[in-house]
Structure 1
């Protein structure tokens, strides 16, 4: 735990950068934070540190729009799958196979980076949602429980539903909020969420919010699409590095 407190400057910088990314392009805080923290500490510790900044910023995103009721009625089965899958698989990230968890985290980040660069134009017919939603939610939960990253396959799936921009942003906030709460419950169930880590996670909220403010300021001054490409290239490189570390 002393090592954790000695790493506070690195943790603060990581969450400031992750918050800046989220403020600029609307996503990426958990993904960036897990990837960078995973270079310095076990995935389970990184996931625990992520909880408070992720929860607060995603609840903020969730309630920023006026479509919550509509989205809940449409996506509730997916959210149940996210919660159930995350809780069921949380023993993987909280277990003793640290190298396997690091490799899985790296592979997930690399896959997300590739998907972000390719930007596949997926479109799912609405009649498929009753069966696709629970499957995607459960798959997202299993990935979250194993790696602490909750973007795959939830983000590509939500992008395929043809939601308007405001609906999509709020739907992402909904999915990420369910993932964060389920991950917190799973880590607590497996004894991997200590008061000390929760305290550092709470402190990490401040640089994350500061980063989001800076990212919002930058949004009006830089080309978001160029930044998005750099972001996904960075995720791909970071993911490959983590996957390699986990395998050697």
Structure 2
């Protein structure tokens, strides 16, 4: 076995352990952190293929650990439909896109800047029926292009002013739908083959282990400070990807 191949496997395992730990501490961030770090050693589509099973397993856990799901599904079903359709449509764009690392880098920079800012907004209930599908479609297109599920889904969900447990469950639903749509998109473009599926299945092991560690650390850390540090790291990683592709 080639030394660089072993190093590559170790790096991927460490990345998913770290991403899972961030997920355990903050309730989100596994795809974002994983894509940001994997992009240094592989193309975005290859990284996205590795992401499918770890993301689906951790978000499924998050999704089913809260209150009954059906009322939340009824409220967010327009957004979920938008995510699904946007990802499939965005897949066609991804196939023609050069410089995928640049798009990923820009998405990371934008997400970090939004997270570090004090900007907050609220979505009135009367606007949800038309905003939700648009937000979902935008999230889907960015999911297909970058493998990152957070924009504009997370700011939108935060603007709905849900209780914390409901918000965490809503993010789990959004991320799970994004993951399933991403898997279908990758399979349609022959990027989800047995080798990628097997590697993704193995990658869930360090991700789940990291998530358990993160959940234990959550009680000892200041979530706000940890989140700010995370956004700074994502800002630096995104900037590096943009400059590296430029």
Query: Is the structural similarity TM-score above 0.5?
Result: yes
Distance 1:4 1:80, change over 3 A: farther
Measured in 2, the distance between the counterparts of 1:174 and 1:70 equals 12
TM-score (norm 2): 0.95
CA contact (8 A) 1:67 1:170 kept: no
CA offset at residue 193 of structure 1? 1.1
Measured in 2, the distance between the counterparts of 1:62 and 1:222 equals 23
Q: Does 1:32 align with 2:33?
A: yes
Indicate the residue corresponding to 1:191 in structure 2: 190
3-state SS of 1:144 partner: helix
CA contact (8 A) 1:67 1:167 kept: no
The residue correspondences of 1:147-162 to structure 2 (distance < 5 A) are 147-162=146-161
CA offset at residue 67 of structure 1? 3.6
CA offset at residue 91 of structure 1? 3.2
The residue correspondences of 1:169-208 to structure 2 (distance < 5 A) are 169-208=168-207
CA contact (8 A) 1:145 1:183 kept: yes
Measured in 2, the distance between the counterparts of 1:119 and 1:10 equals 34
Q: Does 1:131 align with 2:125?
A: no
The residue correspondences of 1:28-177 to structure 2 (distance < 5 A) are 28-93=29-94, 95=95, 97-98=97-98, 100-177=99-176
Measured in 2, the distance between the counterparts of 1:227 and 1:24 equals 9
Select between 65-74 and 8-17 the one with higher mean Cα deviation.
65-74
Deviations 1:36-80 (A, max 9, x none): 000110000000000000000011111111141111111101100
CA offset at residue 96 of structure 1? 6.1
Equivalent residues, number: 244
Distance 1:153 1:160, change over 3 A: same
Measured in 2, the distance between the counterparts of 1:136 and 1:97 equals 22
Measured in 2, the distance between the counterparts of 1:29 and 1:15 equals 8
Gap regions ≥5 residues in structure 1: none
Measured in 2, the distance between the counterparts of 1:199 and 1:145 equals 21
CA offset at residue 6 of structure 1? 5.5
Distance 1:5 1:89, change over 3 A: farther
3-state SS of 1:59 partner: helix
Measured in 1, the distance between the counterparts of 2:224 and 2:212 equals 19
Query: Runs in 1 of length 4+ with deviation above 6 angstroms?
Result: 2-5
CA contact (8 A) 1:23 1:216 kept: yes
Measured in 2, the distance between the counterparts of 1:109 and 1:122 equals 20
